[in-house]
Structure 1
């Protein structure tokens, strides 16, 4: 996510987003709800949140805390998100060429202990994956690809930090060190860094943010002329060469991730504008900074080429914004998905910004969600950021829990990665016990593609209810493990319930239903 260099303390740590010229003049607040029928909620929808670790934004909020205290804080944070209907975590594991995981070629992040390179005494990523899966949530490892430092205090870097071992790989821009994307060895290094996680952790996805080439800063110059002279012979224009450098990284990364883990998702979260129509004939009807021009990141091409599985553009403006309206950008991105998934980056943190009056309106983000659900080419949302939801900014968490996310949903399947569903579960049984109903079953036989079941979904019906597995209100339990039982304690004494169980694979393809099992509650 695009951050200012300095942060302000208030009731909670509030992130300020650099909106550049795209913020533009404000139009009137969206005073009334957009009337779109959302009475039937989707069974498949990405409902994710970014947990930022850079400068201890979301977690750990205290880098001096003990390992057990940090683990408890993260587990508690995930529990709140689970209660609010979130089904995926974007967990920042590499803020600045450092690591929040043990199996890394880079030093431990200072945001764990205050000192870069100091072992925190546990593996945060391993812990985070286990806690997310325990709660029926995916976990995507979020990497900042090119940022090597977050400040200019270079003397605090660990002795084995890559800026010390390969000083020729970097340029300084606006006081921080950045990898030079034009150097082939840099691209290979970043791929290998990410593959350390792909190979060693049970993450569900690899996620990159919007920091490719740096956002323009007045008076600053990207010092890569020598690199262009050395490697850019095939290009007349340094801008096209820079864009190609980023293309190469993304293509290499996609091939590498899917080689080692064919079912692992790979996604990017770019700036909210790809290009303005004034900059490119295929651009959006907007007027602001853009990833194509400023970051040399051709995210639209990556979708066209099938290099990435999803995009989550940071559409951090309100509906009707004159320079960059949420509604305008939602339509543009949804028309440029090329049959990949689109998860819209939304901005509850802006409620805390004085210069963002539209986000003081409690209907703003709910209205955005209504527009998202009305568009069949959009598969969900990712919220920036975790502490804003934890703090229930503008009552959004209440709204999600009680309304939009009242019923569970699974992340949507990606048919281009895996289209073969599991086989049905076997031998479902039910038994009434003192405090509830115990369901047990046997695992299904291995699917046609050789994949065993990854988890299960339990549905419950009563009375004359239609046995509709497409309606998520009938889901009582989703689990991301192979435990072949479920104990239903949310029952009414004397009531008869009807149960169906299905198996799911890693990408949430679902098996046929089991036979129905009826049981009267004790």
Structure 2
């Protein structure tokens, strides 16, 4: 115990020292989840007018941009329903209050367009197996469950697609393919709900399925068979994504503990009551090792020093089990509370320390906040820290060379006129190499630029022109250069400088 406390103090001290003169990284995942199930984040309640829904959406997106985020993880399929017009699934009850009722516009397109305007990546968050939060709730007459009741399993008072059936896996893949083909999304994202969280004393009702189709598993390998059912789902979704749009990322946000080390020597130094592997039948490490997914965002919603699931221990464990894929840490924004019974969550430095640890821990490349609505309330000064320190400079989401190692060509024909810069889009041979955004760098005239320093970034833009802000006082000469960004944020070489007084 003394050794653990000493280690914790040393790490926290190292993080505190690292804050002196800190410069945020140029590449870092900075996201927030927008949960729509039960109207957690958006819309605030069912049945709002189109104008009010849009107003709330824009306020949340502006909040994310103001706080330096660069990605939104939006839940567009919470319970076998949709936040977009679909031939496969009905409109969500969380939009209008009535399952299947058309809200009168396309919320998904609105969110994507407005997110991209703010330079936010759009990660489409789906829940693969959940059908209904209550087994007794009304479902739309167009729901697939009425066509295929044999696909449905009731457990714990809720309805789920049966993970054991190939038909359900194919249907989920069809939903994903439809989203990919019709919308300009940057990633498909699944949360921690695979097999449902266990209900004490209630076995999941799949004994007949196991007996009928055990595949190569023996009678004592029910747990392995269940894990294989989820493996097959993840493998199929990965194949569907990469065949449809190879540049779209596939991410999973698992429960924060894979296994405890008293269950498996490879597990973390935790004593979690539930684990991915043993209770949700999600073998996250296998998916990473096999390269089926591109990133994980483990939900580490515990404080530094938690007795059963210490944030420090877990972030270190996930960093050691990245398998050359990206790890972004899920942070429990909702935990911050001046009146919390847990002392650590009453301290203003708890969340900043957790964010800084994502920067000082190897293989950790960013974080995501759960959930976005909490950015609106008093977070003990966290918003100020994000805007002025932690996320004060722009950041690009991390590159993924295993998806796309190529870089776009440099922008062409950079010209200046007064306070205006203009350039042309570079040519490309395939969609993976297309330039979709541009970085404009500003450095003192004649000074050699450091393009790895985000403080040199004047702006990131989707346009091929820029009008500099008008400034009062004496103007000085600055060199402006432009680079092109590909779909995975691979960056071209910079153009030659154009000197403007600014």
Q: TM-score range, shorter-chain basis?
A: over 0.9
Residue 499 in 1 paired to residue 480 in 2? yes
Residue 258 in 1 paired to residue 239 in 2? no
SS at match of 1:304: helix
104 and 411 in structure 1: CA distance in 2 versus 1, 3 angstrom threshold: farther
C-alpha distance in 1, partners of 2:111/2:38?
18
C-alpha distance in 1, partners of 2:249/2:128?
17
Q: Which residue, 266, 273, 290 being the options, matches 1:305?
A: 290
Residue 234 in 1 paired to residue 216 in 2? yes
SS at match of 1:199: helix
Deviations 1:47-76 (A, max 9, x none): 000000111111111322111211121012
Contact 1:34/1:370 (CA < 8 Å) preserved in 2? yes
Deviations 1:326-372 (A, max 9, x none): 01000111101110000000011012484433211111111111211
Q: Where do residues 372-383 of structure 1 align in structure 2 (5 Å cutoff)?
A: 372-383=358-369
86 and 363 in structure 1: CA distance in 2 versus 1, 3 angstrom threshold: same
Q: Using structure 2 for the length normalisation, give the TM-score.
A: 0.94
Q: Where do residues 122-521 of structure 1 align in structure 2 (5 Å cutoff)?
A: 122-154=105-137, 156-236=138-218, 237-288=221-272, 289-352=274-337, 354-432=340-418, 437-446=419-428, 451-462=433-444, 466-479=448-461, 481=462, 483-489=463-469, 491-493=471-473, 494-521=475-502
Tell me the equivalent position of 1:63.
46
Offset at residue 32 of structure 1 (A): 7.5
Gaps of 5+ in 2: 1-7
C-alpha root-mean-square deviation of aligned residues, in Å?
1.8
Q: Which structure has more RCO (C-alpha within 8 Å, separation ≥ 6)?
A: 1
Contact 1:50/1:384 (CA < 8 Å) preserved in 2? yes
Contact 2:407/2:492 (CA < 8 Å) preserved in 1? yes
SS at match of 1:178: strand
Q: Where do residues 49-60 of structure 1 align in structure 2 (5 Å cutoff)?
A: 49-60=32-43
Tell me the equivalent position of 2:4.
none
Contact 2:296/2:326 (CA < 8 Å) preserved in 1? yes
SS at match of 1:393: coil
450 and 71 in structure 1: CA distance in 2 versus 1, 3 angstrom threshold: closer
C-alpha distance in 2, partners of 1:208/1:31?
32
C-alpha distance in 2, partners of 1:499/1:219?
66
392 and 135 in structure 1: CA distance in 2 versus 1, 3 angstrom threshold: farther
Deviations 1:127-149 (A, max 9, x none): 11100110011000000111100
C-alpha distance in 2, partners of 1:244/1:251?
10
C-alpha distance in 2, partners of 1:300/1:490?
52
C-alpha distance in 1, partners of 2:207/2:344?
43
Offset at residue 463 of structure 1 (A): 5.2
Gaps of 5+ in 1: 1-26
Tell me the equivalent position of 2:3.
none
Residue 90 in 1 paired to residue 73 in 2? yes
Offset at residue 395 of structure 1 (A): 2.3
Deviations 1:302-348 (A, max 9, x none): 00000000000001111111211001000111101110000000011
Deviations 1:171-229 (A, max 9, x none): 11111101110111111111111111111100000000000001112132210111111
SS at match of 2:381: helix
Deviations 1:269-307 (A, max 9, x none): 000000011111211111012100110000011000000
C-alpha distance in 2, partners of 1:470/1:233?
52
Offset at residue 449 of structure 1 (A): 7.2
Matched residue pairs, number? 487
501 and 146 in structure 1: CA distance in 2 versus 1, 3 angstrom threshold: same
Contact 1:420/1:447 (CA < 8 Å) preserved in 2? no
SS at match of 1:381: strand
C-alpha distance in 2, partners of 1:466/1:394?
40
Residue 41 in 1 paired to residue 24 in 2? yes
C-alpha distance in 1, partners of 2:408/2:212?
51
81 and 169 in structure 1: CA distance in 2 versus 1, 3 angstrom threshold: same
C-alpha distance in 1, partners of 2:288/2:12?
35
C-alpha distance in 2, partners of 1:367/1:490?
37
Offset at residue 35 of structure 1 (A): 2.1
SS at match of 2:83: coil
Tell me the equivalent position of 2:104.
121
C-alpha distance in 2, partners of 1:439/1:447?
26
Contact 1:104/1:196 (CA < 8 Å) preserved in 2? no
Contact 1:103/1:200 (CA < 8 Å) preserved in 2? no
Contact 2:432/2:487 (CA < 8 Å) preserved in 1? no
Offset at residue 450 of structure 1 (A): 6.5
C-alpha distance in 2, partners of 1:31/1:414?
30
Greater shift, 271-280 or 219-228, is seen at 219-228
C-alpha distance in 2, partners of 1:219/1:423?
60
